[in-house]
Structure 1
Amino acid sequence: MARVDPEDDDIRRFVVHHYRYDPARHERRHVLVAAFDTATEARACLDLVRAEIERRRETDPGFDRREYVSSRTLEPGDRRREANSRLLRRTIRHGVTPGDWAGDLELPSSTSRLRFGREPGRRTTAMLRWRLRRWREDR
């Protein structure tokens, strides 16, 4: 199996995660198993981990039933787009109106930008924060 670096944002990669208890962090989380350059190899790894989980589920009475294995496909540039989205969110959260530089950011499809017809002032920024807060509460 040809493994690749899961952090390499220049290539398409298929990442396999195992949701389990992580004793190093004292919490349940998605722990990285491996990243591959083809879907076939990722599926083979996914099946191996799934078989191991099923084997442990049947034999170990103390097995955590919430464990599972999953995979996701990361396209080239995903990490950069997510970082841009976090930057934009933190900027707004801190009360700073994004300038012209924000229009040049490449964002993921799950993020959208609103532009006002006039230069946003203090009142407009407060209104935007209020609307974001209400939106989060409704979710």
Structure 2
Amino acid sequence: MIASPVDERLRLTQYVMQLMDDWGLMARDIVSLLRLPESIKPRQIGRFRDQEPFPDEPLINRRLAYLVRIDQALLTYFPRNPEMRRLWMRRANKQFGHRAPLAVMIEDGESGLISVLSYLDCTFAWDLTGSRADYRQAV
């Protein structure tokens, strides 16, 4: 049986909600991190855990993609210790001006998500520099 796009969207929503719950984010931080529409209030975040997918909007989709890649990178760094993944996200890091990666992502918005992902995933950072494009042209 092939999953419908709505089912896939709901699974993605539940995955990201579980991830943010694991990181200990409050509802207002989830709204801020995803830049959900103003019509969605923090008290309504619970509906995304079970029954409703996130809005299908380009900005939200891009942020969801960043979060999934951050989680994948953390799984590479700490494959056997989920608590270390949570601690890393919450602990101050010299790379981010002694702020926690979660604080960087929430306070700096999309550029914060990009900063954290670039730190964790060198291939993402490499793509941002245009190195991949230069390499392809040289080959």
Q: TM-score, normalization: structure 1?
A: 0.20
The structure whose residues are more often helix, as a share, is: 2
